[in-house]
Amino acid sequence: MTKRIDEFAFRPLRTRSMAALLLAMFAIALGYGFLLPILPSTIARIVDSSDTAVLSRHTGVLTGIYTLALFLFAPLWGRLADKYGRRPMIVAGLAGFASTLALFAMAETLPTLYLGRFLNGAFASAIAPAAYAVGDRAPTKEWRAHRFALLNIAGASGFLVGPMMGGFIVSGVRIALPGLGEAAVSRSPFFATSAFAVVVAFLILSFVPGKVARGSVRRQDARGMGGRAALPRLLAVSFVTALAVGAFEVGLSLRGIQSLGMSTYRLGLMFTECSFVMLVAQSVVFSPLVRPEATRWLLTPALAILAAGVAAVPFALSEISMTVVVAVIAASAGVLSPVVTYWISMSAGERQGVELGWQTASASLGQAAGSAAGGVLFNLTLVPNASFTLTAVAVLGGLVASVGIPRLLVSNDQQSSVSSTAVPSTTKSASGDRS
């Protein structure tokens, strides 16, 4: 019996289980991404106003309140996932995400709009800490890195498809149901995404194991002093990266419409480009071309590029130059996010859910602050281009914090390499289970 339990602990996730987790990450990113281009028009319908200052403020705060909820609830979900298993937390998160997305779609007042968005983020925060905690079944560093890459790609794919999906669904509903009212047509993307999340919840319930694997992470990824010391800095890098992305997303929406005169369609293409570049960057960073232990050296250069890209946004005066800036920001953020997540997991030991919950929380707080700042500071004249200038300064602060991270992680990486040679043969034999 002991041998059977040990073999179970070291057995990697089956292909169908991993596929269900990828769909969960995709569903949450899809539910966030499709709303970005249409959020200003949704707010304009609710408040019955075209005042740019009012729309800017509510766009920033509504985007920020979603990520604020992620910050508040992700550590709790991660702790519960460590205690009760990944499956029930993901199922509960998807079910709540689906129902609150429908609530947001039916909102007719600002308080209901804010409540729906906050609850939507609260349930969405259950997904990432539990999904990334597949690290508790990692037989090798390479296995962990490649699965993390797949999870990041799934999330990036959701952001990629999301901005386009809303328009496609609305057009399809208009053609299929020409007699349907405009209000019902505008809500169709919300209900379609909600239904998809429910389907994914049933797949998680059917295919993802309910138990938490114990032992593999403890033996392979000893949490050395270097890893513990690096954690606060890694969380800081996660915070400023998300801060920059949040401010940029809101700033792109507002600048594209108010300064560059972009249509909703063109703005959606910009978000699609951003997601596509992130997807490519995340695919490359943990591909066989890059050794997982070498990724820690990418943090500081990527932060420098991110700061330069954000600072350059106000100087992009055409759609072509804006396209270049979007690519620079997306590529650097696409490298930073998976690398930080990977090294936090490597340093977490058996506290995968807890530590990854804190990573989700730090990123969410950063995105909440960035989104709110992107809207509130957009029209501020006291500091030139305040929303982008101040964000770039914050990223430079993260760059300073990142300088010593690679050397702090050396001891953790060396302990992992040594302990991986001591993993029992049951680990290696189990790694061949891909059914």
Give the chain's domains with CATH numbers.
14-212+222-421 (1.20.1250.20)
Supply angle C-alpha 395, 399, 405, rounded to 5. 140
Going by C-alpha positions, the residue among 244, 240, 262, 245 that lies closest to residue 253 is: 262
Decide: pTM greater than 0.85. Answer: no
pLDDT for 349 equals 65
Our measurement of the distance from residue 13's CA atom to the centroid of its chain's CA atoms, rounded to an integer in Å, reads 22
pLDDT for 95 equals 95
CA–CA separation, 339 vs 234, rounded Å? 9
Q: Is the Cβ–Cβ distance between 130 and 78 less than 8 Å?
A: yes
Q: Which of left, alpha, beta for 424 (phi over 0: left; psi -120 to 50: alpha)?
A: beta
CA–CA separation, 165 vs 275, rounded Å? 13
pLDDT for 189 equals 85
CA–CA separation, 144 vs 251, rounded Å? 35
Given a cut of 70, the residues of the chain with pLDDT beneath it are 1-13, 134-139, 182, 210-228, 257-265, 348-350, 379-381, 383, 410-435
CA–CA separation, 202 vs 185, rounded Å? 27
